[in-house]
Amino acid sequence: MYEIKKQMDFSAAHHLLNYDGECENQHGHNWIVEAYIRGNELDKSNILVDYKLLKASMKRVLDYLDHSDINELPEFKDISPSSETLAKFIYDKLKEEYPQLYKVSIWETSTSCASYFED
């Protein structure tokens, strides 16, 4: 089994719904996103997925989120845009192009990370 990881970042504002604490107020993060791809087969160049292509796909998804108020995006209407729901959103978008996508992790601070993957 092979695994690759591509890391990128974006900045955006959000606030948590149904939360009692500081995070119910609008605030921002410089999120770091990691996309993990797994597979048993390499292509003719002996690579699992071209990092350049994965980067372009991730950029399309993250550019949509970048410098936005995530709560205002249609996909997050009435949904608390936590790191967990953001990880799933990014996972679902990337999975459309990369069926071998294994996991998406999103870091909201250097010590706090949420991941989404399917069994």
Which pLDDT value is given to residue 119? 83
Which pLDDT value is given to residue 47? 97
Q: What is the CATH number of domain 2-117?
A: 3.30.479.10
Q: pLDDT tens, 70-86?
A: 999 999 998 999 999 99
Token pair recorded at residue 4: 């690759």
CA-nearest of 37, 56, 55, 57 to 47 is 37
Which pLDDT value is given to residue 91? 98
Full-model pTM: 0.95
CA-nearest of 75, 111, 108, 107 to 5 is 107
CA atoms of 104 and 116, how far apart (whole Å): 5
Q: pLDDT tens, 23-73?
A: 999 999 999 999 999 999 999 999 999 999 999 999 999 999 999 999 999
Residues classed as catalytic: 23, 67, 108
Q: What is the largest CA-CA distance in the chain?
A: 53
One-character DSSP codes across the chain: -EEEEEEEEEEEEE--SS--SGGGS-EEEEEEEEEEEEES---TTS-SS-HHHHHHHHHHHHHHHTTSBGGGSGGGTTS---HHHHHHHHHHHHHTT-TTEEEEEEEEETTEEEEEE--
